[in-house]
Structure 1
């Protein structure tokens, strides 16, 4: 390895070869950072309440009154997971009674008065589904597959599966890159990000989405680890220090900051999943421009390939 250091030292810290590799490897970290916050926007849970079917023929006042009001964190909020029994509400509406503000204890009291409140009436679950707020999101995975109330546990589980994929990538990306090379694993990880991000947009169910999300998490962390290693093995001197300590983290976090802006403009989760594949696809042409690690070539006994790479670097190619 000392011979490698002596052979490559003459290239100069900021030679054409080093400059090109520095820029290209920094840019390949954008897809990694761009996708890391996807759990926030794809799995967002908008405010929601029980859906009241239109065929129930209830007025807007009755629809609003049929959702119980509960106190949460010191504020009065409409219940997200229950409603007053719809059959009883329809009966009250048919009697010509208006929603009111006073508690009522039995049906006879309701029938005798012009107004009614439901605080003592039986409640039921959201048998007809939910109505979701579209103030911030047109749709998310939560609203698409109804991951709320009794199925609310599926939302954090999906996030866990995504980061479990990242953990798996941490454990195996290094071993795989030692076996097959840094460059194939780097672009394989970027390819996984793009392919499975596109596939997410066509997921027909929550289980399939979760499996695809796991694979996407695996590619996300694998590409970042390998781009760090590849840059550290190719670059030398102050270029290596600048790449690993400043350029790579800054470009990575820049990618993280771009996604919220994209999610603000694209509020449908399926469309956002498709757009999240774009940075990775844009990096695919870098395959023909980014070299393999000379150190890895030497460790695998591929001396001729390492020599050709160093000669090309010396000529600034």
Structure 2
């Protein structure tokens, strides 16, 4: 069977067809950037204290009815208690002055039975102030982000399987619709529970959209353009969307208005259905060579090049041959079939787990980097642009393993050094020490995966197994021989 890249080499690498696919798929990632980190503003906790109803109190008692407590070395108003209102009202009516006639430490305290008063200096409202996710309900605030990423987790499991079954393009647009619709629906949540359910589904659509766009682009584009797309195209699309988030949030301080503004851009992507093609590689894997050839011929017209008379002749399998040798179906468990590829799969999963943990933990914590969360969020997003450019240059000119190892080492060392920052800025080191340790462990595990720099990528799972059994440097000769026999029997 002729290699796909060789069969479509007549198209060139950077014609009008590739440019359209490159930029439209990159643009489709914009909503993922501001959607993923909207939680930074939507779930932030404004300054708050117990609400004091309108009662007859002297100014002296009104100023002290909320107790003061020391938090992280700083004195601030209590967030969850106040002095008993009936007692304070009686003392105020009798003309007692706090601190002179009454020792405040002797007064009985009560919870925020009348609700809370939230500061509007930074936000007009968040889901914390909307659903009172404070004090005894405070555990729901961090759980909100967990629910979202559980949706991302489930979407990661199913999006690839769905796109293998129904195609990259339908899954891409379906999940973009899911992300848009359920982000909009969150606005009408009557409770935190309903909001969390809708957020879970939104997270599922968000990652599925990203994966489908990424796979579609890498399957259509070839050569250096594929590297450029996977390392800068989708990543810069995500970063630009991320940088737009603090701009939206700055002018829309209400969480409902912010979510409305973030959901509307999804409607702009509907016309892209007629410009983004299905993956010819996927069509060929489904035995739909005629449809794949039609897409490539349209691409040749856009690129103003002449297509050969027959493009994918070798991909057509006669019906009687199919009956003799039924097509084998693959799934995620195919990556665990042989020892070689199983080790590589586990190693790459560890590396991605490390990168994702560090990236999202730091990005979701941007509100603590600066007094102004909007500036913090923009800096966090803007720094990704030179990072992605550096990654592309590393992938373009350096071996893959060396690139990954250097990046992980820089990240791990930086996380360890955070504990040297003064305590007034960072005071909880354990998460950063954990992420740093993960980065260092991933460095060593990366030494045991095969190098791919300057080598053609495998087209099929059989080629992948065969390459691993030959190139993998960390198995013994006995294991190597056993896996070669297994792979050769499959081929």
Q: TM-score, length-normalised on structure 1?
A: 0.92
CA separation in 1, counterparts of 2:209 and 2:57? 55
Aligned to 1:284: 270
Q: 1:228, 1:60 → 2: CA distance? A: 62
The answer to whether the aligner puts 1:26 opposite 2:26 as a matched pair is yes
Q: Indicate if the aligned counterparts of 1:32 and 1:190 stay in contact, CA closer than 8 A.
A: no
* Structure-to-structure mapping, 1:160-199, within 5 angstroms: 160-199=146-185
**d(CA) in 2 for partners of 1:2, 1:198:** 47
Q: Structure 2: any 5+ residue segments left out of the alignment?
A: 304-491
Following superposition, the deviation at residue 248 of structure 1 comes to: 1.4
Residues 265 and 85 of structure 1: CA distance in aligned 2, closer, same or farther (over 3 Å): same
What residue number does 1:153 align with?
Answer: 139
- Deviation at residue 264 of structure 1 after TM alignment: 1.1
The answer (yes or no) to whether the contact 1:68–1:119 under 8 Å persists in 2 is no
Q: How does 1:51-62 map to 2 (within 5 A)?
A: 51-54=51-54, 56-62=55-61
Distance in 2, Cα, partners of 1:207 & 1:268: 20
- Which secondary structure state, in structure 2, belongs to the residue aligned with residue 2 of structure 1? coil
Higher RCO (C-alpha under 8 Å, 6+ residues apart) = 1
Structure 1 regions of 5+ residues with no counterpart?
Answer: 103-112
Task: Tell me the equivalent position of 2:40.
Answer: 40
Give runs of aligned pairs for residues 50-129 of structure 1, distance below 5 A. 50-54=50-54, 56-100=55-99, 102=100, 113=101, 116-129=102-115
Distance 1:29 1:60, change over 3 A: farther
SS of aligned partner of 1:198: helix
Q: Secondary structure at the match of 1:184?
A: helix
CA RMSD of aligned residues (A): 1.3
Q: Is the 8 A contact 1:30 1:279 kept in 2?
A: no
Is 1:307 aligned with 2:307?
no
Name segments (4+ residues, structure 1) moved above 6 Å. Answer: none
Aligned-residue offset at 1:237: 1.6
CA displacement at 1:4 relative to structure 2: 2.7
CA distance in 1, matches of 2:118, 2:60: 18
- 8 Å Cα contact 2:57/2:93 also seen in 1: no
SS of the residue 1:201 aligns to: helix
Question: May I ask how many residue pairs the two structures share in their alignment?
Answer: 303
